[in-house]
Chains A and B, each alone.
Chain A
Amino acid sequence: MKNSTSATQRGFSLVVVAIAALALVGCAPAAPEPVTPTATDVWIKAVPELMDGMAMTGVFMTLENPTEADIELVGAKNTTEGLTETAMEIHEVVKGDDGEMKMQMVEGGIVIPAKESVTLKPGGYHVMYWDLLKPIPVGSHVTLTLEFSNGTTLDVDAVARDISTYAG
Chain B
Amino acid sequence: MTHTPAEAQAETEVTRRGFLASAGVVSSYVAAGVAGFAGGAVTASAVSASSLCTQSQLRAQEQAATIPFFGDYQAGIMTPLQAYGTYMAFNLKSSTGIDQARSMMQLLTDDAARLAVGKPTLPDGDPYLATEPARLTSTFGFGPGFFSKLGLAGKMPVGFGELPAFSIDKLQPEYSGGDLVIHVGADNPLTVAHAARQLTRTANTFATPLWSQTGFNRPQYGEPTDQTGRNLFGQVDGTVNPRSAQEFDAQVWASSGPRWFHDGTCLVIRRIQMDFAGWDKLDDTKKEASMGRRLSNGAPLTGTSEFDKPDLEAKNAHGLSVIPAFAHVRRANTGKDTEKFLRRPLNYEDGLLPSGEPNAGLIFAAYMADIQKQFVPVQQRLADLDLLNTWITPIGSAVFALPPGARRGGYIGEGLLG
The interface of chain A, by Cβ under 8 A from chain B, is 41, 43, 45, 60, 122, 138-140, 159, 161-168
Given contacts A162-B201, A168-B204, contact A138 B107 (CB under 8 A): yes
Given contacts A167-B201, A168-B204, contact A161 B103 (CB under 8 A): no
Does B122 lie within 8 Å of A139, measured CB to CB? no
- Residue B106, interface by CB 8 Å: yes
A37 to chain B, nearest CB (A): 19
Q: Which of A41, A139, A165, A168 has the most CB of B within 10 A?
A: A165
- Residue B359, interface by CB 8 Å: no
Given contacts A161-B107, A167-B201, contact A41 B122 (CB under 8 A): yes
Task: List 6 tightest A-B contacts by C-beta distance, closest first.
Answer: A139-B103, A165-B201, A161-B123, A138-B205, A43-B122, A165-B197
Q: Which residues of A contact B103 (CB under 8 A)?
A: 138-140
User: Dominant SS at the B interface?
Assistant: helix
Q: Which residues of A contact B231 (CB under 8 A)?
A: none
Does B107 lie within 8 Å of A139, measured CB to CB? yes
Q: Which residues of A contact B110 (CB under 8 A)?
A: 159
Given contacts A138-B107, A139-B107, A167-B204, contact A162 B123 (CB under 8 A): yes
Does A139 lie within 8 Å of B125, measured CB to CB? no
List 7 A-B pairs, Cβ < 8 Å: A43-B122, A138-B206, A140-B103, A161-B107, A165-B197, A165-B198, A167-B204
Q: Which residues of B contact A140 (CB under 8 A)?
A: 103
Q: Which residues of A contact B106 (CB under 8 A)?
A: 139
Bound-state CA distance A139–B100 (Å) is: 8
Q: Which of A43, A60, A138, A163 has the most CB of B within 10 A?
A: A138
Tally A-B pairs: CB < 8 A: 47
B418 to chain A, nearest CB (A): 15
Does A163 lie within 8 Å of B123, measured CB to CB? yes
Contact of A159 among B122, B125, B204, B205 (CB under 8 A): B122
Contact of B208 among A138, A161, A168 (CB under 8 A): A168
Q: Which residues of A contact B204 (CB under 8 A)?
A: 162, 165-168
Does B122 lie within 8 Å of A165, measured CB to CB? no
Bound-state CA distance A167–B208 (Å) is: 11
Bound-state CA distance A41–B123 (Å) is: 10
A99 to chain B, nearest CB (A): 23
Bound-state CA distance A140–B201 (Å) is: 16
Does A165 lie within 8 Å of B205, measured CB to CB? no
Bound-state CA distance A147–B169 (Å) is: 64
Bound-state CA distance A43–B293 (Å) is: 55
- Beyond the given pairs A139-B100, A159-B107, A162-B202, 8 more chain A to chain B contacts, judged by CB atoms under 8 angstroms and listed by A's residue number, are A43-B122, A60-B122, A122-B123, A139-B104, A161-B122, A163-B123, A165-B201, A168-B208
Residue of A nearest to B122 (CB): A43
- Residue B200, interface by CB 8 Å: yes
Bound-state CA distance A43–B114 (Å) is: 14
A151 to chain B, nearest CB (A): 29
Given contacts A139-B100, A139-B205, contact A165 B107 (CB under 8 A): no
Q: Which of A139, A140, A164 has the most CB of B within 10 A?
A: A139
A6 to chain B, nearest CB (A): 14
Does B122 lie within 8 Å of A163, measured CB to CB? no
For B108-129 the 0/1 string (1 means CB < 8 A from A) is: 0010000000000011010000
Bound-state CA distance A138–B203 (Å) is: 11
Q: Which residues of A contact B202 (CB under 8 A)?
A: 138, 161-162
Does A122 lie within 8 Å of B104, measured CB to CB? no
Residue of A nearest to B127 (CB): A121
Q: Which residues of A contact B205 (CB under 8 A)?
A: 138-139, 162, 167
Q: Which residues of B contact A41 (CB under 8 A)?
A: 122
Does A43 lie within 8 Å of B208, measured CB to CB? no
Bound-state CA distance A168–B122 (Å) is: 18
Q: Which residues of B contact A164 (CB under 8 A)?
A: 201
